[in-house]
Amino acid sequence: MRQQHAGTDDYVPGHGDASFGVEHYDLELDYKVAGNRLSGEATLRCRALAPISRLELDLHALKVARVHVDGTSARYSHRGDRLAVTLGRTVPEGESVEVRVRYAGTPKQVRSRRHGQAGWEELSDGVIVAAQPHGAPSWFPCNDRPDDKATYDITVTAAKGYHVAVAGELVDRSTRGSTSTWTYVQDAPMATYLATVQIGRYEVIDQAGAPVPVRVVAPAARPEKDFEAAFGMQPQMLGFFAETFGDYPFASYTAVITDDDLEIPLESQGLSTFGRNFMRDDWECIRLVAHELSHQWWGNSVTLGHWRDIWLHEGFACYSEWLWSERIGLMTVGERAEVHHERVRTDDGDELLLGDPGPDLMFDDRVYKRGALTLHALRRQIGDARFFEVLRTWCEENQFGTVTTAMFVEHAERVAGEDLGELFEAWLYTVELPPLPD
């Protein structure tokens, strides 16, 4: 019987295959900035989670030239965004198989009626990849589901004069003729949507004072005063979050600032991306720098298994903004909670359940703010000492793992030593906004 794989998450339908997991991606990419032309060879080490004779990968808009399975040419079909590969045998549960795909074409963002466009985006002179939640297939064949984390080797060849930043650690750079080749390794398991490539005419600014290397990759021509106001305190910010949440989970942190304006910034693993319009001396920019940095704990190291639990990323990152605000002498956490409680209370948008907002509302601002308010309500109930112990141990126990809301509720109750069912039921699974606890 032919296996059918319709996708794994109803928030992002048509993505992912639950019959296998990818253990490692090896991506060798060649990109021509002029003409936006990408060619690549992707080698995936896949582990069967059930006996399988075929598997499906996600790949958008790019043309497949050939596929090999364990070194032998394999049959495949590529319809829509699904690349179905015939394995030539039944792979038993628990065994691994190597799939190698050669492909090329003009990468295009993945479009979604609900979530807009995401993925590989051509800039005026370079590229960004902002893949959340469905854009990873725009540049490599993958098992595009957030609960399938893998390690990565990524090599990118581009024209000399461009800087290439990737979600990983740079291990080699070489120049030959008119091109440079950059090789990065991501040893920490990473979800597909968190993988990224950034290409532009950038310079690297190293920032001292953090527990790990911190750098900004930015255009040489930039407003220095506003740049410093928005990004100058990243080392101190990282240090504060490490004290509060536990050790920074990755080897380094990079903020990329494109020479184009961007509508919103976005986190990737060990790297965040901003437009030049975020180099401003105001709280809206500073809070977003804090928000994206905190995602390295909330979302990148500790990652949701299904998109319905997105408050575990965005609510926690929003609360991190409030903590940084208090740290630098602006509004306290309590003051920001009161302001945003009133805004959420008077919002006239569609009804929302924080614990399962639905695909149309998963990026609604109330998910962010009500998520943060839920954490503040938890803090008020169990006290500061136990609250921050909940956060630190949640990060420590689930580092590089996949989590659910039910897991967090159980964890909070275990660490706090009390039944928190009534609190979480009110904040997560009741439409009406509860009052903010005293």
Tens digit of pLDDT for each residue in 396-415?
Answer: 999 999 999 999 999 999 99
- Residue 113: the pLDDT is 84
Judge if 227 and 312 occupy the same domain. no
In a domain, 287, yes or no: yes
Q: Both 40 and 189 in a single domain? A: yes
> Rounded distance, CA 175 to CA 181, Å?
6
326 found inside a domain: yes
Cα–Cα dist 317/57, whole Å: 31
Range of the domain at 415: 304-428
> How wide is the angle at C-alpha 112 spanned by C-alphas 111 and 116, nearest 5°?
80
Same domain, 266 and 390: no
The domain boundary, picked from 200, 226, 260, lies at: 200
Contacts of 282 (CB under 8 A, 6+ apart): none
Number of independent structural domains in the chain: 3
CATH code at 423?
A: 1.10.390.10
Question: Last residue of a domain, which of 296, 326, 344?
Answer: 296
In a domain, 436, yes or no: no
Residue at which a domain ends, from 296, 322, 345: 296
Using one digit for the tens of pLDDT, what is the confidence trace for 176-205? 999 999 999 999 999 999 999 999 999 999
For residues 96 and 175, membership in a common domain is answered with: yes
User: In the prediction, which pLDDT does 433 show?
Assistant: 97
Gyration radius (Cα) of the chain, Å: 22
Low-confidence residues in the chain, pLDDT < 70: 1-7
Judge whether 68 and 60 are in contact, CB under 8 Å: no
Residue 333 identity: V
What is the reported pLDDT for 79?
96
Same domain, 42 and 164: yes
- pLDDT value of residue 122: 96
Same-domain check for residues 79 and 190: yes
